[in-house]
Amino acid sequence: MGFPGTWMTQSESMVYRVVPKCACSSIGQIMYYSDHGGYFDGDIHDATDGIHKWAKEDSQPRITENVQNHKSYAFTCVRNPYGRILSSFFDKICGIQRNGKRYRGNLVPLLVQRYGIEVGNPENEFEFDQIKSFRRFLLFARDTIRWRRPMDPDIHWSAMSGHISTFIVNGGRYDKIFSTEDFNAGMAEVLAAVDTPVPVQIADVPRFNESEGHGPRRAHPIEDYFDDLSMHLVYEMYKRDFDLFRYDFDNPANKRPTGEVDLDEVHAKLGD
């Protein structure tokens, strides 16, 4: 299986396991800058050179050799499951993608037909009942994760622990797992632990949010989107994420982690 979703700087100063919707654009650009002294012109997900990615066949032997021998500092980043699934809804379901189209072609029409979801459109300034549509989207996301229908779960709403575990199962070990809610502090700790060809000052890094401005703005506080049933669905999908990455299930308004991630626990529980 190898190391899907793994990126590595060309200098091999650091290795990163991508978790979608967890600041991956910013992290990828920081990695790129740390080698080249400038940011990639465009979405870092589109970069085909200047950074090693598992999706590039010629990068796979380098990544495999590095990770299996733990030659470089390896890390990843996580996010509150409530905020992550809500962000996935606004970006991937409601938003217009960078190619000018809806995400995955026929996905949104399927959701409109089968689940009664509304998403709005740029012509009406994305006017729709966000809370009602999001709660219906949660039913769809749960169906994909639990029963793999009407499709397999998408990487943007499949559990973080699933992404993170592939790195461990195939022989990798993380040196750091930090949260998007403490992004600057976590990324600064990574940069302090590695030697990069170009120094990076985390305070000077712009925030790269490739999905921003392409869909509706969230109209309500995050806790308003989650009633008792919604919280139950989220827990059904992300129980392990809440437990391992120290997020507060009982209070959707509390987006920050309640404690440090225990790396030994993560490796033990996700390494089976």
**87: closest CA among 128, 46, 134, 42?**
134
Q: What is the pLDDT of residue 38?
A: 97
- Let me know: does 108 contact 136? Beta carbons within 8 Å: no
In the prediction, which pLDDT does 97 show? 87
Instruction: Quick: pLDDT tens for 158-217.
Output: 999 999 999 999 999 999 999 999 999 999 999 999 999 999 999 999 888 766 557 788
Distance CA 118, CA 109 (A): 10
Instruction: Look over the chain and give the mean of its residue pLDDT values, rounded to a whole number.
Output: 95
Per-residue model confidence (pLDDT) at position 22: 97
Residue 9 contacts residue 33 (beta carbons within 8 Å): no
Write the pLDDT tens digit of every residue in 40-60.
999 999 999 999 999 999 999
Give residue-wise pLDDT tens across range 106-156.
999 999 999 999 998 877 778 899 999 999 999 999 999 999 999 999 999
List Cβ neighbours of 230 (8 Å cut-off, separation of 6 or more).
134, 135, 138
Say yes or no to pLDDT of 96 above 90: no
The pLDDT score that the predictor gives to residue 124 is 75
Model pLDDT, residue 210 = 60
**pLDDT at residue 173, rounded to an integer:** 98
Considering the entire predicted model, what is its pTM? 0.95
Give pLDDT, residue 212: 59
